[in-house]
Chains A and B, each alone.
Chain A
Amino acid sequence: MTREMTGAEMVIHALKDQGVDTVFGYPGGAVLPIYDEIIQQDGLEHILVRHEQGAGHAAEGYARSTGKPGVVLVTSGPGATNMVTALTDAMLDSIPLVCLTGQVPTHLIGNDAFQECDTVGITRPCTKHNWLVRDVEDLPRILHEAFYVATSGRPGPVVVDIPKDVQFATGTYQGPNANPGAGHKSYRPQVKGDAQAIRMAAEMISKAKKPILYTGGGVINSGPEAAQLLRELVSLTGFPITSTLMGLGAYPASGDNWLGMLGMHGTYEANMAMHDCDLMINIGARFDDRITGRLDAFAPNSVKIHIDIDPSSVNKTVKVDLPIIGDVGHVLEDLVRIWRTSSMKTNEAALKDWWAQIDAWRARNSLAYRPNQDVIMPQYAIQRLYELTKDKKTFISTEVGQHQMWAAQFYGFEAPNRWLTSGGLGTMGYGLPAAIGAQVAHRDALCIDIAGDASILMNIQEMSTAVQYQLPVKVFILNNQYMGMVRQWQQLLHGNRLSHSYTDSLPDFVKLAEAYGGVGFRVDKPADLDGAIEEMVAIDRPVLFDCRVANLANCFPMIPSGKAHNEMLLPDEANDEAVANAIGSAGKALV
């Protein structure tokens, strides 16, 4: 379809042609022509946020919960710079985002004009790709390319910077399929895995005595079919499976072979199995430093298979023996087919011994905590929240810190795309806008942001967005009046000198909720918790739930920095002295 229209109209047409139904944004001088088109059309809903960063995280929540790209529209200058955190977040967690930014008119670029910044320069390292559109005739092609780049291969954020004169200029609109072989002239990620390598992987699976599946966000990004195939692979092989923070839900937490999350705050059984395995099958994960611990002691006796769509993830930090470049879904499909059609079998006797060993580790009960009748333990709060919401269609987002790790440890995810968290960048302030994004996409679902008292204040203004669009998100604040994870690290590293990790003068969250037009709860007795959670779930309005928890609880088990998987600090051994001496001098320099 070709038609004469203005650049601003092209933006609306291109978004609709790309199947976009929702845009998160904030207007300003350099995007006014596009906003003028938005108000004159139907079919594209615009969600007005209160801060551009909120738009970015909301779009991430939308994208993660639907599998579709999130779309953001912001103005030039501060609009664009406020997006940088969300773009970087999406970059590190491989979330498809298309961010449209306004720019000053082309003849003013480089003149330090009002609200001018070098948007493509600033966002170059935090996007998968970005474009400055200098000619309206290029605009439709670039917009369609932007969606292609954001969603294909390893997904990620892209920015299209559109000067105001280009929005006003008239040109010829072309639909997404205008160019044969559409997409991009040079960018063609490989999705099919090498058949010989996959066959070899099957062979290695058949020989393994102490295998483990280590899965990551790539399984979620590959789509629900990939999660289905992963479940099939687990049931065919009977192998134990663990996952990174980003991959939770790909394999159900209630599944028999589930070891829990691995890594710095993963379970003892998951980390010990990683350390002692003889075959590690990494499916869509990237050997992040939160996962590996000390690199020279990482799974020392293992052969490693790595399935990843991004060749630069392979051999980046950990040398692998068999890389398979391709989309997780495609590779798993081939692997499952090859396994089924061959006469290969797993080494059942060895697996039986391996499971016996794993069960012994499991019996260590590494997530245990001391229950308390008078004070709400944060772990208990998450457990109760899980029990009382698990039977609903629930989406959980989090902020960043102790509450995030407790949520990952104690909330059981049964399906992919239900867990929205900032893993790579660790962005405090992610959870509330992300829950809003998920709620926009799933109006009938229960969207809960598990938050901390410090994190929630970083994007609290989005409560106003939730109220405006009648998005009944629930913010479940584990309020310990500390930046708990910062304090935990100060205890581990800095002689318990709690420099600025205590928040004095926290707001009254109940009144704050009411001020925004939402509903507030405050609970500080374990006995009142269930009733209040049930009440919260039943309310069809945004809620701030101020759950007062034990102030000094810490997050265990933990692999201290610079330590290996088999050197975990377990909750029952984590007395003050053990905590103070957990990290050696080498570990102190690490993050």
Chain B
Amino acid sequence: MNAQNLSAPSAYFLADVSDENETHTLSVIVDNEPGVLARVIGLFSGRGYNIDSLTVSETEHERHLSRITIVTTGTPMIIEQIRHQLDRLVPVHRVTDLTVQAKQASQDKPLERELALVKVAGTGEKRLEALRLGDAFRATVIDATTEHFVFEITGRTNKVEQFISIMKPLGLVEVSRTGVAAVQRGPEGL
């Protein structure tokens, strides 16, 4: 805010001052110990942050490390707070803002995918239409009777959303989604 008053140029003054809400994807590497997920979730609820999506699984079995992928929305100041508050938790090894990293690498977004199982019931023309659309979306049929299909679909969140909304008039019964898993493009790891 007062950076312009200073003569010495510094990276410290590059902080974004926008207060528009942004959606960011964070990768959090944590010790896979009892209660660690409760700490992360409790932090979000206790401090009033949003969770749009949360995915967690142990990813390094020998070191008992889990990777939590969180999609969250807030102003840049809030997102920065979330990152630091997460980093402050004792079992957290590393917090990476994949959205910021992607921007720094001049990419649109990090690689993000989610998986959904979509159950659609119906007969006749609706059933055929569901199957055709499933094909168009490259969804796989993993269970079927003459009255229903269960589709497995993976993709970016908006593709999954779109598929689900198209299935609604065709006899959508239920949906189970994994939430977003994300990695950075390119050869480097976290």
What residues of chain A have their CB less than 8 Å away from a CB belonging to chain B?
120-121, 124-125, 128-129, 132, 149, 184-187, 196-197, 200, 203-204, 301-304, 310-312, 314-316, 319, 321-323
Shortest distance from the beta carbon of B176 to any chain A beta carbon, whole Å: 28
Contact of A319 among B1, B31, B39, B84 (CB under 8 A): B1
B77 touches A319 (CB 8 A): yes
The answer to whether B138 has its CB under 8 Å from any CB of chain A is no
Shortest distance from the beta carbon of A128 to any chain B beta carbon, whole Å: 7
With contacts A204-B6, A315-B15 known, what are 17 further pairs, Cβ within 8 A? A120-B35, A121-B35, A124-B39, A125-B42, A132-B34, A184-B90, A186-B90, A186-B93, A200-B10, A303-B2, A304-B2, A310-B84, A312-B84, A319-B15, A319-B17, A321-B1, A321-B13
Residue in A closest to B34 when the chains form the complex, CB atoms: A132
Shortest distance from the beta carbon of A268 to any chain B beta carbon, whole Å: 25
A321 touches B90 (CB 8 A): no
The answer to whether B22 has its CB under 8 Å from any CB of chain A is no
Chain A positions within 8 Å of B87 at CB level: 311-312
The answer to whether B3 has its CB under 8 Å from any CB of chain A is yes
Given contacts A120-B35, A312-B81, A316-B81, contact A186 B91 (CB under 8 A): yes
The 4 closest A-B pairs by CB, nearest first: A312-B84, A129-B90, A311-B84, A186-B93
B84 touches A321 (CB 8 A): no
Mask: chain B, 81-105; 1 = CB below 8 Å from A; 0 = not = 1001101111111000000000000
B85 touches A312 (CB 8 A): yes
B77 touches A315 (CB 8 A): yes
Instruction: Report the bound CA distance from A184 to B31 in whole Å.
Output: 12
| 22 contacting pairs across A/B (C-beta < 8 A) | A120-B35, A124-B35, A124-B42, A129-B89, A129-B90, A129-B91, A149-B90, A200-B8, A200-B10, A200-B12, A303-B5, A312-B85, A312-B87, A312-B88, A315-B15, A319-B15, A319-B17, A319-B77, A321-B1, A321-B2, A321-B6, A321-B12
Shortest distance from the beta carbon of A342 to any chain B beta carbon, whole Å: 14
Shortest distance from the beta carbon of B122 to any chain A beta carbon, whole Å: 44
Instruction: Report the bound CA distance from A312 to B8 in whole Å.
Output: 25
Shortest distance from the beta carbon of A425 to any chain B beta carbon, whole Å: 15
The answer to whether B46 has its CB under 8 Å from any CB of chain A is yes
Chain A positions within 8 Å of B81 at CB level: 312, 315-316
Instruction: Report the bound CA distance from A237 to B46 in whole Å.
Output: 42
B38 touches A121 (CB 8 A): yes
Chain B positions within 8 Å of A197 at CB level: 12
Chain A positions within 8 Å of B85 at CB level: 312
B38 touches A124 (CB 8 A): yes
Chain B positions within 8 Å of A303 at CB level: 2, 5-6
The answer to whether B161 has its CB under 8 Å from any CB of chain A is no
Instruction: Report the bound CA distance from A103 to B92 in whole Å.
Output: 26
Residue in B closest to A203 when the chains form the complex, CB atoms: B8
Shortest distance from the beta carbon of B93 to any chain A beta carbon, whole Å: 4
Chain A positions within 8 Å of B135 at CB level: none
Interface size class of B (residues with CB under 8 A): 20 to 34
Shortest distance from the beta carbon of A150 to any chain B beta carbon, whole Å: 11
Chain B positions within 8 Å of A322 at CB level: 10, 12
B12 touches A187 (CB 8 A): no
What number of residue pairs across chains A and B have CB atoms under 8 A from each other?
66
The answer to whether B129 has its CB under 8 Å from any CB of chain A is no
Shortest distance from the beta carbon of A280 to any chain B beta carbon, whole Å: 10
Chain B positions within 8 Å of A186 at CB level: 31, 90-93
The answer to whether B80 has its CB under 8 Å from any CB of chain A is yes
Instruction: Report the bound CA distance from A323 to B10 in whole Å.
Output: 12
Among A121, A302, A316, the one with the most B-chain Cβ atoms within 10 Å of its Cβ is A316
Near A by CB (< 8 A), chain B positions 2-44 give 2-3, 5-6, 8, 10, 12-13, 15, 17, 31, 34-35, 38-39, 42
Contact of A310 among B2, B88, B91 (CB under 8 A): B88
Residue in A closest to B31 when the chains form the complex, CB atoms: A186
Given contacts A186-B31, A200-B8, A200-B10, contact A315 B17 (CB under 8 A): no
Chain B positions within 8 Å of A124 at CB level: 35, 38-39, 42
Chain A positions within 8 Å of B38 at CB level: 121, 124
Residue in B closest to A324 when the chains form the complex, CB atoms: B12
Instruction: Report the bound CA distance from A197 to B12 in whole Å.
Output: 8
Chain B positions within 8 Å of A323 at CB level: 12
B3 touches A321 (CB 8 A): yes
Chain A positions within 8 Å of B1 at CB level: 319, 321
A125 touches B46 (CB 8 A): yes
Shortest distance from the beta carbon of A324 to any chain B beta carbon, whole Å: 9
Residue in B closest to A134 when the chains form the complex, CB atoms: B34
Instruction: Report the bound CA distance from A579 to B91 in whole Å.
Output: 49
Chain B positions within 8 Å of A302 at CB level: 2
Residue in B closest to A304 when the chains form the complex, CB atoms: B2
Chain A positions within 8 Å of B15 at CB level: 315, 319
Shortest distance from the beta carbon of A286 to any chain B beta carbon, whole Å: 13
Chain A positions within 8 Å of B2 at CB level: 301-304, 321
Among B1, B38, B46, the one with the most A-chain Cβ atoms within 10 Å of its Cβ is B1
Instruction: Report the bound CA distance from A203 to B8 in whole Å.
Output: 9
Residue in A closest to B2 when the chains form the complex, CB atoms: A303
Instruction: Report the bound CA distance from A529 to B36 in whole Å.
Output: 56
Instruction: Report the bound CA distance from A200 to B92 in whole Å.
Output: 31
Among B8, B15, B31, B90, the one with the most A-chain Cβ atoms within 10 Å of its Cβ is B90
Shortest distance from the beta carbon of A300 to any chain B beta carbon, whole Å: 9
Residue in B closest to A189 when the chains form the complex, CB atoms: B88
Residue in B closest to A149 when the chains form the complex, CB atoms: B90
Shortest distance from the beta carbon of B189 to any chain A beta carbon, whole Å: 17
B84 touches A185 (CB 8 A): no
Mask: chain B, 108-127; 1 = CB below 8 Å from A; 0 = not = 00000000000000000000
Among B13, B88, B89, B91, the one with the most A-chain Cβ atoms within 10 Å of its Cβ is B88
Mask: chain B, 57-91; 1 = CB below 8 Å from A; 0 = not = 00000000000000000000100110011011111
Instruction: Report the bound CA distance from A125 to B38 in whole Å.
Output: 10
Shortest distance from the beta carbon of A361 to any chain B beta carbon, whole Å: 23
Residue in B closest to A194 when the chains form the complex, CB atoms: B12
Residue in B closest to A145 when the chains form the complex, CB atoms: B90
Shortest distance from the beta carbon of B140 to any chain A beta carbon, whole Å: 39
Shortest distance from the beta carbon of A325 to any chain B beta carbon, whole Å: 10
Shortest distance from the beta carbon of B12 to any chain A beta carbon, whole Å: 5
Chain A positions within 8 Å of B80 at CB level: 315
Instruction: Report the bound CA distance from A299 to B116 in whole Å.
Output: 51
Chain A positions within 8 Å of B31 at CB level: 185-186
Instruction: Report the bound CA distance from A203 to B5 in whole Å.
Output: 13
Chain B positions within 8 Å of A121 at CB level: 35, 38
